[in-house]
Amino acid sequence: MTSSDQRRPAAHAQEITADTMQWLVRLPADLRPTALREFPHVLNKLATLWADDEACGAYLESLMLDDRGGRQGFPPAALSELIALNLHHHGSIGGAGARPAQETDASKYETVQFTWDDTER
């Protein structure tokens, strides 16, 4: 088994699940990801974690920020969808701990986008 085989998601994560499709339908139409459909394992995990504010927020952060070094990152369209989902998630989860989307510090995400743009040249 090669190192790339070891990094592949489990076979069940290679397709968008029925639960994930239901989650996608519940999202506002203008927020439903299209570019992220190339990463069904990401969508499946987001759908599973969506109701857990802390866990979903941590997962979204881990997808957008490279804390392990040397990762390729997502294509710009998929990254934009992750940012939009993150901003929506912070504003849509009820309770006192929810942060409205306009108060979310997006500056660190812009840095990721600039890093991606620099690597494409």
- When pLDDT is averaged across residues 78-88 and rounded to a whole number, the result is 93
Q: Are 20 and 44 in contact (CB under 8 A)?
A: yes
Which residue from 54, 30, 27, 29 is spatially nearest to 43, judged by alpha carbons?
Answer: 27
- Averaged pLDDT of the chain: 74
Cα-Cα-Cα-Cα dihedral sign, residues 5, 47, 23, 92: negative
What percent of the chain shows pLDDT beyond 70? 62
What does the block give as tokens for 90? 């912070």
What does the block give as tokens for 47? 């759908």
Q: Which of 5-14, 21-30, 37-46 is predicted least confidently?
A: 5-14
Q: Which residues contact 82 (CB under 8 A, 6 or more apart)?
A: 36, 60, 63, 64, 74
- When pLDDT is averaged across residues 59-69 and rounded to a whole number, the result is 83
The model's confidence at residue 93, banded by pLDDT at 50, 70 and 90, is low
| Type of residue numbered 45 | K
The model's confidence at residue 65, banded by pLDDT at 50, 70 and 90, is confident
| Containing structural domain, residue 87 | 3-120
Q: Which of 24-38, 48-62, 64-78 is predicted least confidently?
A: 64-78
Phi, psi angle pair for 91, to nearest 5°: -90, -20
How many Å apart are CA 34 and CA 19, to the nearest integer? 17
Q: What is the pLDDT of residue 13?
A: 53
- When pLDDT is averaged across residues 42-70 and rounded to a whole number, the result is 89
Q: What is the pLDDT of residue 25?
A: 94
77 or 108: whose pLDDT is higher? 77
Domain count, the chain: 1
- When pLDDT is averaged across residues 92-106 and rounded to a whole number, the result is 42
